[in-house]
Each structure stands twice: as structure tokens, then as C-alpha cells.
């Protein structure tokens, strides 16, 4: 994929909120953790739409934002800048890569609504289908989020899991200690993964191919690991899971 490709982002405007600096006592009650998780999921996807859109626009990609709320679409496009535009929700995407920056609870309905308009598209799934109490997943026991999306997407659409283990604010902040952030990806189509990897690389990030789409299940579990570290050990969101090579 070359710089200048059209990146379609489905999401909503990012509200100005500072959440990553909040500190949580280790004795926080379970119900409060559910509230924090809902708060996290609510803002994560909105902030992700802005973070990815901003990086993509700065890298020379053409960014189009689509949302059910046209006002929010315009606000996000203005925030991204660099010529980012808005599209009509429900219209056929013009982007080479379609990024689903919506909560998992809504993503299947969005994909179903678009139906054959997503035919032939490369769909990037950044969702995490995690229950609000952190006890498990919203998907059937024998499945995982990316697979459920693949089930309702057109047969000739390609699904690649990516970005789901990164925090939006860390993503926007850039390299840590001079090292690019790692973005783990999974998918069955090697050419699609190569395109997503090239896109990720163009953003100044390091793509890490984990294998076939079945590995998306592991990546979704990795988000559960991230949440566990955040709530129990680190107590804030200013960290990233990455691969360190010795020697």
C-alpha cells in the first residue's frame, strides 16, 4: 500500500478528557471496576478514531470519517485536519482500508447494515469484546470478535485484526524510549496483512505479524492482560505491551 491511500474510519468525535493520569486504589470494588471499564471502552474507540486518523493524515494518507452523527464526523475531521473529510453514514466506503473504530457491542450491526457495500474491502478490526466486569468475553465460547465480524461481513471482504492492544493516548504520544510502538496483527490473507503492515509502518509504528486470524483470539486476550495490569499493578494507562529483542 502506498502513501496516499484512502483510509475510511467509522467512529465518533473524541471529547477532551484526561483519563490516563487517574490513579485507582487496589481495593476498588468490583462494581466500580465495571464502571471504569465501561468508561474506558466508551472513550477508547472515540480516541482511537482521532489518534489513527491524525497519524494517517500526517503520513500522507487521505482520511474520511463516517459516523451516524454528522456533527461528530465533522468535528473529528476538523480535529484530524490535513484535509480529512466526512462521508455519509451508510454510503459505500471509498477507502482502500476500512477501520472499524466502534465498540464491539455495535460493530456487528454496523457491518450488517453496510452489507455488500463492504464487498472487496480490507476491514481492520480494532475491537475488544470484553465484558464490563473483566470476567470474560461477549463472544461465544468457541469464537472471538474478529471471527464474528468475518461471519457477518461479505464473503470477499478481508478481515485483519490490529491496534487492539494499544492505548489511544499512548498511540498518539508516539515512541517510548526511542522505540516505535508495536502493533500486533492477525489475518488469513497474507497480502492484506502486508498492506496493513505497510500502513502501520507509515505511521511510525512497528507491525508485528502474529499469524492467522485465529490468533486474533489471543490478541483479544492480550487486551484482557493489559486491563489486568492497568487495574491491578500499574494503575494508569501510560504503558504499552511490546516485544524486546535481546542482543
Residue at grid coordinates 486491563: 227
Which backbone phi and psi does 121 adopt, to 5 degrees?
-85, 155
Question: How does 186-219 read in b/e, with b if 16+ C-beta sit within 10 Å?
Answer: bbeeeebbebbbebbebbebbbbbbeebebbbeb
Identify whether the C-beta of residue 204 lies closer than 8 Å to the C-beta of residue 55: yes
CA 223 to CA 215: how far, in whole Å? 13
Q: Residue 115 phi/psi, 5° resolution?
A: 50, -125
Cα–Cα distance measured from residue 195 to residue 111, given in angstroms and rounded to the nearest whole number? 21
**pLDDT score recorded for residue 132:** 80
What is the pairing mode between strands 182-187 and 62-66? unpaired
Per domain, the residue ranges of the chain are 6-10+24-234
Dihedral sign for Cα atoms in the order 6, 10, 15, 17: negative
CA gap 178, 137 in Å, rounded: 34
Domain 6-10+24-234, CATH number (from 3.40.50.10540, 3.40.50.720, 3.30.70.2860, 1.10.10.10): 3.40.50.720
The pLDDT of residue 18: 26
214, three cell numbers: 485465529
Say what the pLDDT of residue 167 is. Answer: 85
CA nearest 80: which of 51, 107, 106? 51
pLDDT tens string, the chain, 247 residues long: the values are 334 445 566 554 332 222 223 333 444 444 554 555 555 555 667 788 888 988 998 888 888 888 887 777 787 787 787 778 888 888 888 888 999 988 898 899 999 999 999 999 999 999 999 888 888 899 999 999 999 999 999 999 999 999 999 988 888 888 888 889 999 999 999 999 999 999 999 999 999 999 999 999 999 999 989 988 988 999 988 898 999 988 7
Amino acid at each position: 500500500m502506498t502513501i496516499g491511500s484512502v483510509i475510511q474510519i467509522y467512529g465518533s468525535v473524541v471529547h477532551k478528557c484526561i483519563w490516563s493520569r487517574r490513579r485507582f486504589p487496589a481495593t476498588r470494588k468490583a462494581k466500580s471496576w465495571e464502571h471504569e471499564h465501561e468508561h474506558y471502552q466508551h472513550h477508547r474507540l472515540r480516541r482511537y478514531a482521532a489518534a489513527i486518523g491524525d497519524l494517517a493524515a500526517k503520513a500522507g494518507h487521505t482520511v474520511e470519517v463516517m459516523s451516524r452523527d454528522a456533527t461528530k464526523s465533522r468535528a473529528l475531521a476538523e480535529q484530524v485536519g490535513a484535509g480529512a473529510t466526512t462521508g455519509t453514514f451508510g454510503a459505500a466506503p471509498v477507502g482502500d482500508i476500512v477501520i472499524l473504530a466502534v465498540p464491539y457491542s455495535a460493530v456487528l450491526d454496523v457491518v450488517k447494515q453496510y452489507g455488500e457495500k463492504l464487498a472487496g474491502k480490507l476491514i481492520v478490526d480494532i475491537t475488544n469484546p470484553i465484558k464490563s466486569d473483566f470476567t470474560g468475553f461477549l463472544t461465544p465460547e468457541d469464537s472471538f470478535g474478529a471471527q464474528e465480524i468475518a461471519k457477518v461481513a461479505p464473503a470477499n471482504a478481508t478481515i485483519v485484526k490490529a491496534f487492539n492492544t494499544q492505548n489511544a493516548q499512548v498511540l498518539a504520544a508516539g515512541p517510548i524510549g526511542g522505540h516505535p510502538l508495536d502493533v500486533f496483527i492477525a489475518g488469513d490473507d497474507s497480502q492484506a496483512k502486508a498492506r496493513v503492515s505497510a500502513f502501520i509502518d507509515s505511521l511510525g509504528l512497528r507491525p508485528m505479524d502474529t499469524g492467522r486470524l485465529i490468533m486474533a483470539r489471543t490478541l483479544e486476550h492480550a487486551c484482557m492482560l493489559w486491563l489486568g495490569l492497568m487495574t491491578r499493578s500499574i494503575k494508569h494507562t501510560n504503558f504499552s505491551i511490546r516485544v524486546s529483542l535481546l542482543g
